[in-house]
Structure 1
Amino acid sequence: MEKNNDHHKASHGGSDGAATEKWEEVSTGIRTAETMLRLAPVGLCVAALVIMLKDSEANEFGSISYSNLSAFRYLVHANGICAGYSLLSAAIAAMPGSSSTMPRVWTFFCLDQILTYVVLAAGVVSTEVLYLAYNGDNAITWSDACSSYGSFCHKATASVIITFVVVCFYVVLSLISSYKLFTRFDPPAIVDSTKNVEVAVFGS
């Protein structure tokens, strides 16, 4: 009888060990995928930033540069911040167990959300400026500018398109960080002093 119990414990322990090893392999795969997703925007942000920084044109009508338009300056700054954050967050995400604690998971969640909206806003306002540059505004007799500054508009368009690709990556990262936060940790609870029971905040 004792041998049977020992055999059962051994087999149970073996299955637990196998399950743990399998979970570690899955966790490593998820960590690698997240690290690559966080690294991808670095090159894209730098590309969008450099294209916009070099975007200027001069002809018989005058000269124009990205620095003349606040929307394009904002796009440059947003992409610079995004590139730095992406590199730093990828380095942290690559460390084993680096994102397992609640403060770090919350930090990733909040910063991913913030960066998503920052880069999205940069793309949207720049798109609006480009629309006016290509089409003008008949209501105020403002003619299009891209017919005279075609090269400038083409480079700006390329930078904006790359910025929207970055937005797509950050939407995915925001979903991942949200999933990791809300599936790994229980909602915070508050104590009802009148009934002396804990009530989950999300259910109240």
Structure 2
Amino acid sequence: MKAGALELGHASKTTKSGVNRGMSILDLFIRIIAIIATLGSAIAMGTTNETLPFFTQFVRFKAKYSDLPTFTFFVVANAIVSAYLVLSLGLSIYHIMRSRAQATRIALIFFDAAMLGLLTGGASASAAIVYLAHKGNRKTNWFPICQQYDSFCHRTSGSLVGSFAGSVLIILLIFLSAIALSRQSLNH
């Protein structure tokens, strides 16, 4: 009898809730990885500084993330997204226990999309500055500084990679929530 129900397209409720529970566990796992990526990016950028001596010990050139407002925005955006992801872990755990919850999934889609915009905005703006640091712009006489500030450039580039990885993970979270919602609406 069960095989006949499956042939007609009707799966058992335990199979449906098992798949939804699996998706909720995957959601929790991706959120934890996204926390690591965004928090790591914020810490890497926030602790980036390099000092170069110039002629004497008393004259030095210093590069810090706080010298550029774009990098400050990047750190704040990644910190906000990290805090949001930590707070959203509670709802993710709730979805593991109650796989049929719809209102909280809709709220997560909305807030995940807002955090995606914030994170992508910060990472994109910082990527433009890092590109200028690496390549410069001859038309405006901005010379590349990464030959002198090698450590500074490597840390900022690495933090961008983590932030863009966090963006991709949040996109996956939005897709997972949307798929879970669509599966629930098809079943009712």
Normalised-by-shorter TM-score class: 0.7 to 0.9
User: Offset at 1:91?
Assistant: 2.1
CA distance in 2, matches of 1:39, 1:141: 43
Residue 158 of structure 1 aligns with which residue? 158
Shift of 1:109: 1.1
Contact 1:92 1:98 in 2 (8 A): no
What are structure 2's unaligned runs of at least 5 residues? 6-10, 55-59
Give yes or no for contact 2:23–2:176 (8 Å, CA) kept in 1: no
User: What does residue 62 of structure 1 align with?
Assistant: 61
Aligned: 1:38 with 2:39: no
AA partner of residue 45 (structure 2): M
1:128 is aligned to: 128
Structure-2 residue corresponding to 1:100: 101
Compute the TM-score of the two structures, normalised by the length of structure 2.
0.82
5+ residue gaps in structure 1?
1-10, 187-204
> For residues 79 and 99 of structure 1, do their structure 2 counterparts lie closer, same or farther at Cα, with a shift above 3 Å needed?
farther
Residue 70 of structure 2 aligns with an amino acid whose one-letter code is: A
Identify the structure with bigger relative contact order (alpha carbons < 8 Å, sequence gap 6+). Answer: 2
SS of corresponding position for 2:12? helix
For residues 129-185 of structure 1, give each alpha carbon's deviation from its aligned partner in whole angstroms, at most 9, with x where no partner exists: 011111111112121111221111111001011111111101111212233345545
The 8 Å contact of residues 57 and 64 in structure 1, kept in 2 or not, is answered as yes
SS at match of 1:80: helix
For 2:126 and 2:100, the matched residues in 1 are separated by 34
Q: CA deviation at 1:98?
A: 7.0
Aligned-residue offset at 1:106: 2.1
Q: How many residues align?
A: 171
Instruction: Give the Cα–Cα distance (whole angstroms) in 2 for the partners of residues 77 and 166 of structure 1.
Output: 15
- Tell me if 1:25 matches 2:18: yes
**Structure 2: which amino acid aligns with 1:82?**
V
Aligned-residue CA RMSD (Å): 2.2
Q: CA–CA distance in 1 between the matches of 2:82 and 2:41?
A: 10
Match of 2:8 in 1: none
Alignment-derived partner of residue 146 in structure 1: 146
1:78 aligns to what? 77
Match of 1:63, SS state, is: strand
Letter in 2 for 1:97: R
Q: Which runs of 4+ in 1 moved over 4 A?
A: none
Aligned amino acid, residue 61 of structure 2: G
1:20 CA drift (Å): 2.5
Contact 1:45–1:82 (8 Å) recurs in 2:
yes
TM-score (norm 1): 0.76
